[in-house]
Chains A and B, each alone.
Chain A
């Protein structure tokens, strides 16, 4: 068992690595788990460890490094006895993250991206960790610290210098709900602000299982189809149809994946559902397993939520004891279903279903070409369903309450409810379960937001919406969203603090395989910087618009939307761009001689005569 909270990292030893490899039966497809355990136990994955893994798994070392170097939370060097990963999302910055970072740096005496000379403290940036409602937040040796102030940052560093264990660093108090349970004990808060009629309504454990054991699997699929429930991750594919495709695909084994890799900056609903309603999620996976004929389920959980591991494993045990998982579930002969947890290791793209499957197979999280779709050839090339956390929760209620009950919520084309993760400039950031059909104005009133300049709907991959469009409706046919809503008031510099941050995010998180996603995003960013520096001309804005369609030639959703921060902000906030460009010039190369020769000047100690 890997330690959940890595209080003190042990010293590297080959025997540790060997026993971890043995624990996973030298299985190539469990490379992620092997690397995660070594990282947790030793603090980094050395060259020798990589060689040993390659040798034992009978793959080349370069393939081990391919996976190892892809994920943000794996390291090939020591990351310090204490490793601080401080969130650098746009909302974190709005809530004072840069001041906190400065305090960490000053107190530790080292910069971000480095480890202190004594090897004690490592400071690293990380993409959104799903705590937008309680920023600035950081992960320190697996423990989540929220609402960090510069003062608190200095205290934390002092505690580290004094050698205190992370879980003894005077966490003020535990969060609400199950956050304070024995298995979590975290300072994270749920911030559930509005409970809706589907996900957060009354839940009777096992009721859907009792019902389906008297139904044919195809009848379960029929009911799910009749409910019109669609995928809650953002893409909105009809769930019943996905299940039917999987059931009808040829294969001797099938798999159910629950996608709990919510990495879209500003999304944190899965964190709360996992904390408060894990049994509902697992029950949904079991229903899906019964419907499509799968006996194995995998919860793919983002590494940022590793603090929930012990708790979720305990819940799985309880479900087995209650005969709601395992063999002959609900007393029905041959209804077998088991669930294991697969952790990611820090890669936004793994939220894409085929990348998620690649990752779960121990590879770099690179999306696959489609066709074939995962429902035909997914995990280990077997038919596989990948569903969002919220989708699987909805299914349980659809089975117990009926498809017509479900359809009574929402709009005509978008049935049911949506759990929104709302953050940014508002009184009450947190989780809101609403029926589809709310418009942006309704939402702003609900969360207590005034003086709103813009709303980012659907996270960076979605759209930046202006007040003129606040009457647009949240539903699949208008503003479709996975649930991230970020609010910006009139004091925010949208281009500098929001759009640029989002572009940095996409550039950081691109897998790099497709040319436009790897290269064009960088050129978009450079153009934006040119405009921000005051060197832009009108042509620069038009150029970016003209490059937009090429992004759609990328393989996956990340690639398709990676320039959306710029493209949607030009569309809805063009005057912001125009106010920053030179009106009297048609062309500007953006070349700055002083900047270009600065390095030479420094090296030679001379200045040119210009």
Chain B
């Protein structure tokens, strides 16, 4: 039996095994901390900052910070909720997210989080950036309009010998994710499906098929994101 660590989240006493990250430890205690860039089982990166919590007074990303004894964590406070809303809203205005036409609508983590956080309108001006769709790859399409640059594809999809299919390009507001053109043949059908599924939004789509899952049967159609952890809605 692994060593148990005692900590609190929003003053609720919690216990979890040593070695877990705060996000995982919270889930064990039926507390949901939202994530966008996190991939269970892959080394975390803390790219999106949506999981930011206050740990003993200091803001930390919950996906990258291991749980420690007597941590006092603030998660569902007005301050943190406001911060998460700002992060979500800025993601919406910084890309081009036209949900009604998007294949991932209903299965999209970004959209689901917006619903969960009750974001019904926008306080920020839409940027309408001019972005493109990269359809050059035979198996997948990369829609830069929808990409939130979470790095999931970069971190989760590698060749057998550990090479990257996806990587960042440029920096700052011009940052984008590009697909390697010389490893095309090594992206198997299986990996392509994995990449599309890993993408939290509709930025990586499989070619030659679409809208496979009807409305009503999509991931978040009936229950909100995170419900599997905190069971807020039965």
Contacts and interface: CB of A to CB of B under 8 A. Distances in A.
Interface of A: 51, 54, 58-63, 65-66, 69-70, 347, 364, 369, 371, 507-516, 518-520, 522-523, 526, 543, 547, 549-550, 552-555, 590
A60 B165 contact: yes
B219 interface: no
15 contacts: A59-B164, A61-B181, A65-B178, A66-B167, A511-B171, A511-B172, A512-B172, A515-B91, A516-B86, A518-B173, A523-B125, A547-B86, A552-B59, A553-B83, A555-B49
Nearest to A559: B49
A371 B87 contact: no
B95 to A, nearest CB: 9
A439 B163 CA distance: 54
A46 to B, nearest CB: 15
Interface of B: 44-50, 52, 59, 61, 64-66, 79, 82-83, 86-87, 90-91, 93-94, 123-125, 127, 148-149, 151, 159, 163-175, 178-183
Contact of A512 (B93, B124, B149): B149
Contact of A62 (B83, B123, B166, B171): B166
The majority secondary structure among interface residues of chain A is helix
B122 to A, nearest CB: 11
Given A513-B149, A523-B90, 6 more contacts: A60-B167, A65-B178, A70-B168, A509-B172, A549-B79, A550-B83
A507 B173 contact: yes
Contacts of A364: 168, 171
Nearest to A589: B125
Nearest to B129: A522
A58 to B, nearest CB: 8
A515 B123 contact: no
Nearest to B64: A369
Contact of B50 (A70, A509, A515): A515
A519 B49 CA distance: 12
Contacts of A510: 171-173
Contacts of A550: 82-83, 86-87
Contact of B61 (A63, A65, A509, A555): A555
Given A51-B182, A509-B172, A515-B87, A63 B59 contact: no
Nearest to B46: A369
Nearest to B63: A369
A67 B71 CA distance: 37
Contacts of B149: 512-513, 518
B44 A369 contact: yes
B94 to A, nearest CB: 4
B171 A516 contact: no
Contacts of A590: 125
- Among B82, B125, B171, B174, find the residue whose CB has the most chain A CB atoms closer than 10 A: B171
A158 B113 CA distance: 59
A547 B174 CA distance: 22
Contacts of B82: 550
Contact of A523 (B64, B65, B124, B167): B124
Given A519-B94, A523-B93, A555-B49, A62 B173 contact: no
A510 B168 CA distance: 13
A595 to B, nearest CB: 13
Contacts of A509: 172
B175 A512 contact: yes
Closest A-B pairs by Cβ, 9 of them: A512-B175, A62-B180, A519-B90, A369-B64, A66-B167, A553-B52, A62-B167, A510-B172, A519-B94
Contacts of B148: 515
